[in-house]
A and B are shown apart, each in its own frame.
Chain A
Amino acid sequence: MSRDEVLKALSKPSPYGPDVDLGRFSVSDEETPSSDVSAAEKIADRLGIGSWVLRKADYLQVNESVVARAMSEKLAKYGAVVLPTREALRKLSWAPDYAWKLVEPTLDKYVAATYLYGREAGFFIYVPPDAKVREPIYTCLFITRRSYAQLLHNIVVVDDGAELNLITGCGVPDQPVGSLHVGISEYYVGRKAKLTYTMIHAWAPDMVVRPRTVAEVREGGEYVSYYVIYSPVESLQTFPRVILRENARATLNSVVVGGGRGVYDVGSSVVLSGAGSSGEILSRNLGRGSSAIYARSRIRSTAGPSKGHIECLGLIEGSEALIESLPEISSSSPDAVLTHEAAIGKIGEELISYLMSKGFAEDEARSVIIKGFLSIEEPKLPPQIMDVVRRTIEYIASRATG
C-alpha cells in the first residue's frame, strides 16, 4: 500500500454515519505537555468512574500529550508493557508487526488521517504468554483542546494463554470543544488468551467521534467487550469487527444513551471464521431528546459448526428520538446456527404504576426501569470490571430523568 493510496483515502467517506469535513479540525504540530489536571478530573467525573481513576490510570493522555504513564509493580511483575504507541514502535523491534495489520489505512478518511497525521499517538499494551493480569489496566484519553483532531492508534496484544482486563475512558470536559476523536484500535488475542475490554465515552454535543476497532481472536481465545456512551455528541460512528478463529468466543455488549440532537451510528460485527467459534452481540439503546440511534449488529459465519446470537433492545423516551435496529446475520456454512431478536418500545406505564404502588415517585420509578434496562449482566466480565460498569449505569440512571 503506497502513501498515495492513503492520501487518496482522505476523501473517502465512511459508508455509515454522517460525513464530516476534516478541514474543521487541526492536528497538533508538536507535542505540548498539558498540565490541565483539573480538566482531566472533570472528565473523569463525567465518565461516572470518578477522578480516582486518574490516580490509578496506567496510561493517561490529554490531547496528544502523555500526562501519566505508570508502570506499576502489578504490570512489571508480569513482564507486561504499557507504552505510547510511538515509543513502542521505535523501541520494540517486534512491535511494528502489529501495526496497521488489522485496520486498513485506506478504510476511510478518518483512518487515513490517523495513519498520515496521527504520529502514532495512543497506547501500546503487550501481555506476554500465560501472564494473567487480572487487576484492571486503566487507560484514559481526554480532549481539552478546541477544534482539534485527536488521532489515536492503540495496539493491544494479549499473547497465548494470557489475560488482560482493560478499561478505557474517553471524554471531554462538560463544555463545547468542537473536536474530533478518532481511535484506531488493533487488538490481538492469542491462543487460549482472554481480553476483556470496557470503553466508556463521555463527549459533548459538538464532538465528532469515529472509533475504528478490529480484534482478532486466535484458536480457543476469548474477547469480551463492553461499550458505554451516554453523553450527547454531534455524531458518533463506529462498527467494531471481531474475527474469531477456531473455537474462539466473543461477546460484544453496548449501551448507548442518545441525547440532544446527536447521531449515534453504533454497530458490532462478528466474523465466525473458525469451526467451533461463537459470538454474541447484546445492545441496549436508550433514545432521548432528538437523538437518532442506528444500532447495527452483524454476525457472519464462514465456517461451521459455529454459533451466533444478536439481541438488540431499544427504549424511547419522548416523541422526537429515533432508534433503528439493524440486525444482520449471514452464513455460508450449513452448520452455523445464527439467531437474532430485536425490540423497541417506550417505558411501560404498568411498570411505572407498579413501582409507584411500592413507594417510588414517578421519576424514581423511571430511573429504576432505565437502570434495569441498561444493565447487561455480563457473567464473563470480571467482578472489578462489573463494578465500574455498575457505577457507570448508576450514574446514567441517576441522571435519567433530567
Chain B
Amino acid sequence: MVEVTLELRNVSVAVGSRVVLSSVNMKIGYRELHVLVGPNGSGKTSLLNAVVGIKPYEVVSGQVLLMGEDVTREPPNVKARKGLVLAHQLPPVVKGVVVGKFVEELARRFDVKKSYVDMLSEILEVGYLMDRYLFDKMSGGERKRLETFLTLLTRPRVALLDEPDSGVDIDSLNTISNALRAALNLGTSLLLVTHSLHMIKLLREYVNTIHVVYGGALLMSGLYDEVVPLVEKHGFSGLALRFSRGGFP
C-alpha cells in the first residue's frame, strides 16, 4: 500500500468570512502526482494557499495531515521545514535579494547538497539568473522556472504547484515538466494546479489522480482516462451540469 504523504480531510477554505471551498477530501501518496483542474475562480489557488497557511486564506474546518501529522494550524515556514512547500502562481519581486545568495541560503537551511542544486539548476535552466534580483525584470517563463527551482530545491515531501505552466512558452513548459518528473523520481509528491490539459498530457504517464473543482466543491476525482476525455468533451460547466442531473452513467 502506498504511503500517504498529504491528506486533506474534510477541508473547507475561507477568504476572510467567505467560504470558497467546502469539504475537500484528498489523499496524495508517496511520489504521486495529483492534478487539480477547474475553471477560473473555482477555488484551486485558494485551496493551495490555505493548505500552506498563506493569509488571508484559511482552513476553517477539517484537517491537513502531512505524513499523518496534523499541521493544519502550523505557519507556512513550519510546514515548509516539515516538507510541505508551495510554488506560487505569482511570486513577488524581492528587491535587493540576489538569486544566487538566496539559493545558497535555502540550500543551507534545507541541508541540500550542491550537486543536487546544480542538477536542478541545469534541468530548469536557471543558472544564468543567479546574479539577478529575485524575480526582478524576469520574463514569465523565467519566473515560473525559477519559482519551480526554488520550491524543488528544498527537497519537499509534497510540493504544491500553482499553475507553473501559465504564461510560459512551449520550451519552458517542457523544461518545467522535466523538473517535475525528476522530483517525482526523487521521492517528492506533487499537487499540480493547472488550466492546461497540455501540461497534463506532458506528464500523463506520471498522473495518478485528477481532481475537478467546480463551484466551491470537489466535483469529481479520477484517473487520467476517466477525467480528461470528459473535460475535453463537456468543459467544466458541462461536466458540472451533468453531475447536477445525476452524474454520468
Contact = CB atoms under 8 A, between A and B. Distances in A.
Interface of A: 348-351, 353-362, 364-365, 368-369, 371-377
Given A353-B54, A371-B97, A359 B92 contact: no
Given A351-B92, A371-B97, A372-B97, 13 more contacts: A351-B94, A354-B92, A354-B94, A356-B54, A357-B77, A357-B85, A357-B88, A358-B80, A358-B150, A358-B151, A361-B75, A362-B77, A372-B133
Nearest to B84: A357
Interface residues of B, number: 27
Nearest to A368: B97
Nearest to A375: B96
B96 A357 contact: no
A353 B150 contact: no
A356 B109 CA distance: 13
Contacts of B109: 359
Nearest to B75: A356
Given A368-B94, A369-B94, A373-B96, A359 B80 contact: yes
B52 interface: yes
A359 B133 CA distance: 19
B9 to A, nearest CB: 22
A348 B92 contact: yes
Contacts of B81: 359
Contacts of B110: 359
B154 interface: yes
Contacts of A375: 96
A360 B96 contact: no
Contacts of A364: 77
Nearest to B81: A359
B91 interface: yes
A109 B94 CA distance: 44
Nearest to B56: A349
B129 interface: no
Interface string B189-211: 00000000000000000000000
Contacts of A365: 77
Contact of A371 (B85, B92, B96): B96
A354 B96 contact: no
B95 A356 contact: no
A347 to B, nearest CB: 11
Contacts of B76: 353, 356-357
Given A356-B75, A358-B80, A374 B92 contact: no
Contacts of A373: 95-96
Contacts of B95: 372-373
A371 B154 CA distance: 22
A327 B154 CA distance: 43
Interface of B: 52-55, 75-77, 79-81, 85-86, 88, 91-92, 94-97, 106, 109-110, 133-134, 150-151, 154
Contacts of B133: 372
B97 to A, nearest CB: 4
Nearest to B136: A372
A265 B91 CA distance: 36
Nearest to A353: B54
Most buried by B among A362, A365, A372, A374: A372
Contacts of A348: 92
A354 B54 CA distance: 8
Contact of A377 (B53, B55, B96, B151): B96
A357 B80 contact: yes
A353 B133 CA distance: 18
Nearest to A284: B96
Contacts of B77: 356-362, 364-365
Nearest to B57: A353
Contacts of B154: 358-359
A376 B97 CA distance: 10
17 contacts: A348-B92, A351-B92, A355-B94, A356-B76, A357-B77, A357-B80, A358-B150, A359-B80, A359-B81, A362-B77, A364-B77, A369-B97, A372-B94, A372-B97, A373-B95, A374-B96, A375-B96
A176 to B, nearest CB: 33
Nearest to A365: B77
Contact of A354 (B75, B88, B106): B88
Contacts of B75: 356, 361-362
Contacts of B92: 348, 350-351, 354
Contacts of A350: 92
Contacts of A358: 77, 80, 85, 106, 150-151, 154
Contact of A356 (B80, B96, B150): B80
Nearest to A364: B77
Contacts of A377: 96
A374 B95 CA distance: 9
Nearest to A393: B96
Nearest to B87: A357
A40 to B, nearest CB: 32
A355 B86 CA distance: 11
Contacts of A372: 94-97, 133-134
Contacts of B88: 354, 357
A353 B76 CA distance: 8
Nearest to B86: A357
Nearest to A377: B96
A359 B110 CA distance: 9
A369 B95 CA distance: 7
Contact of A359 (B55, B96, B106, B134): B106
A372 B101 CA distance: 11
